[in-house]
Amino acid sequence: MGTSFSTIQICNYQKTDQIKDQFLKYMLKKGLVETMEKEAQFHYRLAFHKDNNWITLYYDGWDTASIRTDTEGLAKIMKTCCIETSIYDSDRLFLRLYDGVTKKSDEMEAGNNESKSHKECSSLKDYWKPYLVKGKSLEDIEKIKNKKYIFAEDALLEMIELLGMDKAYASVDWKYWEEIDHVDSSVISFYFKIAEPVFISVGTTKLEVNTHSYLNSGESGIIDFYNTGGISSGLTIIYSGDCIVKGDVEITQLIVEKPKNPRMDRNDYGLYGGYYNHIEIHTGHPVKQVLSNGEECLMASFDDFIFLEGVNINHPSMKGAKGDNIIWNHEVLVRHTATIRDDSEYDLYEFNIYIIPQQNWTEGQVSRIVKVEKKKK
């Protein structure tokens, strides 16, 4: 029984760090994130040829469909040419070229001549010629196509020479690097695991305050927060502090707004009927309550409020402006107005606001899931 393996040859005119970044970006699109070796579910290797502009990618889990997908995907994201190189049972060599800029592709086969499909060499002109070494021609490819080989690996060696690749990297497989007893600094390992989803629906609701404005008596203030956990129902807002206990403060307005569709960009609201067509509004009326621990407070409950899906802030795609925009689209706004008695000895800055998922707290023990402290300036 012969040998079977596949690699991807990447034509490279960029710096090593640029190639690494583009490779990681492509893997993220596949739903994989880089991780430590001990946590890895997938292992890839990139071999940077020493004396030419080629890179070989090794992986031991490809099938016919997945290597084609990766060949095209990498060529597109790197804006270069990638060539799938496959040996089947040492009988057949299969090469498929894909140009990520022109989107042109073509295939060639060589080996024992029993199963390969012959193609006219002229059809390869616009595809293969730019990658042939000086002094080699398309007729040289045709000679390899039409020659009968006992071992397809020999045909691969001849194609490697025509394309100017380093046979030390382009002619070996994944298994080779597993078995050698020395380290080659040109070969870099990448370890991946399946990325957790960007959006979370299951689990405990966990809230994060994004921004809040200080309250001035009679003026509206805003708190906005977003969920980093699972979806649940029921929201409670509590106002506490000495000025609340003594009755010096009245909450005259309390509105909670959340987007109906957090996957829709807020920038597009105006294109589809305006802000309030895409916002769900809940109105509350805080009333004085005494918790079982004896603490007095003003409390408003929104039993029919359903929290938005959570945002996985640790996901790689949440970095930078893209992540900021996702959070913005998932924000819930609390708009409230408070007034304080003119003769009060307190300021509005001297009370606390708690925004609590009802899933997460028990009456009498105020769970400080989100706490906004209004302190004196």
pLDDT in tens, 142-198: 899 889 999 999 999 999 999 999 999 999 999 899 888 778 899 999 999 988 888
Q: What is the dotted CATH code of the domain comprising 199-374?
A: 2.60.40
Distance CA 374, CA 348 (A): 7
Q: For the chain, what are the domain ranges?
A: 5-194, 199-374
Which pLDDT tens digit goes with each residue over 53-84? 999 999 999 999 999 999 999 999 999 999 99
pLDDT of 315 above 60:
yes
Question: At 28, phi and psi to the nearest 5?
Answer: -65, -40
DSSP 8-state secondary structure symbol assigned to residue 198 = S
Question: At 306, phi and psi to the nearest 5?
Answer: -115, 125
pTM of the model as a whole: 0.62
Distance CA 285, CA 305 (A): 15
Token pair listed for 1: 């029984």
* 3-state helix vs strand vs coil in the chain, percent to 5: 30, 35, 35
Mean pLDDT for 113-119 is 53
Distance CA 109, CA 74 (A): 22
Distance, CA of 16 to chain centre: 22
Instruction: Please tell me the least confidently modeled range out of 44-53, 135-144, 340-349.
Output: 340-349
Mean pLDDT for 105-122 is 67
pLDDT of 124 above 70:
no
Most confident range (mean pLDDT) of 58-72, 200-214, 351-365 is 58-72
pLDDT of 37 above 70:
yes
Confidence band for 372, pLDDT divided at 50, 70 and 90 = low
Q: What percent of the chain has pLDDT over 70?
A: 92
Position 200 scores a pLDDT of 92
pLDDT of 42 above 50:
yes
Q: Which of 367, 345, 347 is nearest to 357 (CA)?
A: 367
Query: Which parts of the chain fold into alpha helices (H)?
Result: 16-29, 64-78, 125-128, 138-146, 152-163, 167-170, 174-179, 242-245, 320-329
pLDDT of 285 above 50:
yes
**DSSP letters spanning 62-90:** --HHHHHHHHHHHHHHHTSEEEEEEEETT
Can you name the residues that pair with 221 across neighbouring β-strands? 336
Position 154 scores a pLDDT of 95
**Angle between helices 152-163 and 138-146 in degrees, nearest 10:** 180
Distance CA 12, CA 49 (A): 10
Average pLDDT value over all residues in the chain: 88
Position 118 scores a pLDDT of 45
Query: H-helix or E-strand containing 10?
Result: strand 5-11
Mean pLDDT for 321-334 is 94
Position 362 scores a pLDDT of 72
pLDDT of 374 above 60:
no
Decide which of 82 and 368 is more confident: 82
Position 122 scores a pLDDT of 42
